[in-house]
Amino acid sequence: MKKIRLASGVLGIALMVSGCGTASSANEAATASSTSVSSSAAVVGEEQTISYLDSDYQVVYPTKKIVTASLEAMEDAVALGVEPIGAITVSEDFPSYLKADLGDNVQNVGNKFGPDVEAVTALAPDVILGSTKFDDSVTANLNKIAPTINVSHQSTNWEANLRLMGALSGKTEEAEAKIKDYAADLAAFKEAHPDTSNQKAVMIRIRDGELCVYGEKLYYNPTIYGDLGFQTPEELNAIDTQTAISVEQFAKWDVDVVFVQFSDEENAGNLDYLDTLKENAIWKSIPAVAANQVYYNIVDAGYQGGTYLSKEAFLSGASEQL
């Protein structure tokens, strides 16, 4: 299994970037979600049209003046070795799993729910990469500063997201290489773990002392079901967004494998929840728990789940632990 590698070098010309999926059936469903450059030659400092997820944006690129105002964009920047001029924080600091690789000069532009307008304005960015989780008012304020592209939090759009970062930063070739690397690592995982289709699996994220599950296109689910090939619990088909469920409800799902993500930052006031859960008799009755097929924080709990960096980290962790 390859380890995650940070790409280096700068590509001076950004040409058409296709949206073809390469890794799985889940990715193939997102092939229409592409990033493309409409100009014949991308020149640094020149405003050009870039298409991302069926919308066009007038942006100056390739550029080094990128503000990553979403965690998804920050993960893509780290994956490609791009140093943004500004980035958001969690609990007033850059996420620990990204901090060392963001670069020494990146500026704090506020929290993930809505960057500080004055801080972003002071950086004079050429482009701001926000989040589809933003309220419309947040996006409107950022657009007054610089062209703002809200990066999708839908995990099935990970390739389009990575290609967007590659085009904006002049690293299209590096982005394509990462996508191919993931496909190769996934193929190696499937060869080593051919029986995943016989097991029902689910990812749980513990937030504010509650068990949360996600819709099929969110968080790590496209990786778990579309890429790794685990069975989808029937109960998950009725869930579209983050949904809290009780231990009693979850026990009825009768799953074979459970991935649990827990971070102190998301559970202030409930830091002992995980220890309490492990002693819960109902939790112990779940087949996955009884068979010692529960994997706690298989990756750092900060990862967003639906980016190249998240997927590669999860695949590496799964390959080592399953």
- What topology does CATH give the domain 194-321? Rossmann fold (3.40.50)
Class of domain 25-184: alpha beta
Q: Residue 4: its pLDDT value, please? A: 39
Instruction: Report mean pLDDT in 10-residue bins for the chain, 322 residues.
Output: 36 34 39 47 73 96 97 98 96 92 94 92 98 94 97 96 98 98 97 95 96 94 96 94 96 96 92 95 96 96 95 96 91
Q: Residue 36: its pLDDT value, please? A: 61
* Phi/psi-derived region of residue 90, left when phi > 0, alpha when psi is between -120 and 50, beta in every other case: beta
Q: Residue 97: its pLDDT value, please? A: 94
Q: Residue 10: its pLDDT value, please? A: 31
Edge to edge, the sheet with strand 47-52 lists 35-37, 47-52, 55-60
Q: Residue 308: its pLDDT value, please? A: 98
**Beta-carbon contacts of residue 203 (< 8 Å; ≥ 6 apart):** 213, 214, 219, 220, 221, 224, 258, 259, 260, 261, 305
194-321 matches 25-184 in CATH topology = yes
Please report, as a single letter, which amino acid is at residue 77: A
Q: Where are the domains of the chain?
A: 25-184, 194-321
Cβ–Cβ < 8 Å for 196, 24: no
Quick check: pTM over 0.75? yes
Q: Residue 35: its pLDDT value, please? A: 64
Tokens of 42: 């991308």
